[in-house]
Amino acid sequence: MTTLFTTAAVRNAVELLASRSLIRLVTEIDDNGAIPPRRLAGILPDLSSHQLRRTTEAARAHGLVRTAPGAGLELTDAGSELADLYDAAARWGRRNAYPGPVCEFSNRVRHVLDLLAPSLAAERADGLPRPSAARLPSTEAEADLARPRALLIQWLAGNPQVTRVSEPEPVV
């Protein structure tokens, strides 16, 4: 497998995708359908209005959600595929008690994405992914991680807008 992404691109993508508020928004819509804009704060009461606004703006900007007339905020195809990636990451984490036996869904997904990030950004000369600094429960767990890794690579390749690193604003 060749590396498709720079370290900065992976860092940018994982920072966005591992956002607790984005995970919550995407999985809520995936599990329960479109959310009317005025009900968003009631459905995700643990997120501040500022967090909700920033998250929905980022999700729209990256093509993960759209507003459907009469229905509200719904997932795009990219958003639905991201929800599938989140589910696969969480299943791997639960099966392997990573990062611990008991963990909130969004935290588990964030930890698994953080675990996957180093192997996406750089490869060794022999073509094998760089080992992660995090300790995995077993070699079976490492092998089992191949599916979430493949899903993440596929999702990132299909959604390059998420890996773009924005240029810093010039200081005037």
pLDDT band at 166 (very low <50, low <70, confident <90, very high): low
Query: Within a 13 Å sphere around the CA of 102, how many CA atoms are in the beta-carbon half?
Result: 0
- Tell me how far apart the terminal alpha carbons of the chain are, to the nearest angstrom: 43
Pair of tokens at residue 135: 């300790």
Cα R_g (the chain), whole angstroms: 17
Pairing relationship of beta strands 65-68 and 72-75 according to DSSP bridges: antiparallel
Which residue type does 59 have? Answer: A
In the block, tokens 């759209």 appear at 66
Q: Give pTM, 2 decimals.
A: 0.86
pLDDT above 80 (res 127): no
pLDDT digits (tens, 9 = 90+) for 12-37: 999 999 999 999 999 999 999 999 98
Which H or E run contains 67?
A: strand 65-68
Pair of tokens at residue 38: 């005025």
* pLDDT recorded at residue 4: 66
Which H or E run contains 121?
A: helix 105-121
